[in-house]
Structures are given as structure tokens and as C-alpha cells.
Amino acid sequence: MVSPVDFDICGWDISGANLYEAAKRAHVLEPTLIEQLKGDLENILPMKAVLNPDFIASNQADRCDNVLTGTNEEVIAALRADIRACKARNDKVILLWTANTEMFLLPEINALDDLEGRIKNNVPLPASVIYCVAAIQEGIVYLNGSPQNTFHPAIVELA
């Protein structure tokens, strides 16, 4: 088991706020804990994130100041580069999807050629699918920590 002090915590966020400010905003940790970790958390800045506004709540728009732009293929390539940089620093990399819940009615992607066509033709895809594809292509574990179903039949086939 790896000691928690040896973890390399990094990630993507649509907001460029440091982890201290993000943790305060999210209200998911005890305020006293956040204050105790303030010095460390302030030094953690997120990488630019993939965002498809078609699949998230409109109330997130005010946070979008740290977003990757480009086609599906370009943002997947950027995520893969970020993952490779993380792999260069660590023995094991796990992508834990904990972003805001995406819309319940996500497109069902049943066939691998359909998924590949949507990527190539820049058809809007949920960010969770884009991250999952990048993780699979880089050979790392993808854990879905949100309630939407990212594991479409095509994703399972790709994996």
C-alpha cells in the first residue's frame, strides 16, 4: 500500500482556481480541514479541462475559465499528453471522474465504430466519455465517481 503522503494529486477543472479556493467553494470538506491544508492546497492548480456545455448544468458557466478547446481528437490528444506527463512522475496513475453530474439523458453509444465516428466527426460527446477514451487509450484505470453512465457498450468494447 502506498503511503498517502506519496500521492501526487493533480487533475483537470473547468475553473482555474487553486484547490484551496475550489474546496472552499464546493463545501465538501470540513472548513477546519481546508484551513489546515491551505498552504498545500493553494499550490495545486488544475490542468485545463474538457467541457461540453451541451451535457452540463447551465449554472456552471460562471466557472469556465480553464477549458481546453479544439476538436474531440485534439482534446483527447491533450488529455493523453497530460496523462503521459503524470505517468512520467508516478508508478501508477488512476483517473477518478468526479466532475459534476452530466445530464441524465446521455447519448447511448452502442458500437465502437459509432464512438470512433463521433470522435472523428467532432460530434458533441459528454466530457466523461472523452476522459474515459483518453484513459483507455493511455492504458490507465478510469473510475467513474459520478452517477451518469459513462460505460456505454462502445466504451466497454474499446477497453
**Per-residue model confidence as pLDDT tens digits over 118-138:** 999 999 999 999 999 999 999
pLDDT score recorded for residue 104: 59
Q: Is residue 2 part of a domain?
A: no
pLDDT score recorded for residue 123: 93
Q: Is residue 30 part of a domain?
A: yes
pLDDT score recorded for residue 106: 61
Residue type, 129: V
Q: Is residue 147 part of a domain?
A: yes
Q: What range does the domain containing 49 cover?
A: 7-158
Mean pLDDT by groups of 10 residues along the chain of 159 residues: 83 93 90 95 95 79 89 98 96 89 72 96 93 97 87 93
Q: What is the pTM of this model?
A: 0.90
Q: Is residue 119 part of a domain?
A: yes
| Number of separate domains in the chain | 1
Q: Is residue 76 part of a domain?
A: yes
Q: Is residue 127 part of a domain?
A: yes
Q: Is residue 108 part of a domain?
A: yes
Q: Is residue 115 part of a domain?
A: yes
Give the domain CATH number at 68: 3.40.50.720
pLDDT score recorded for residue 105: 57
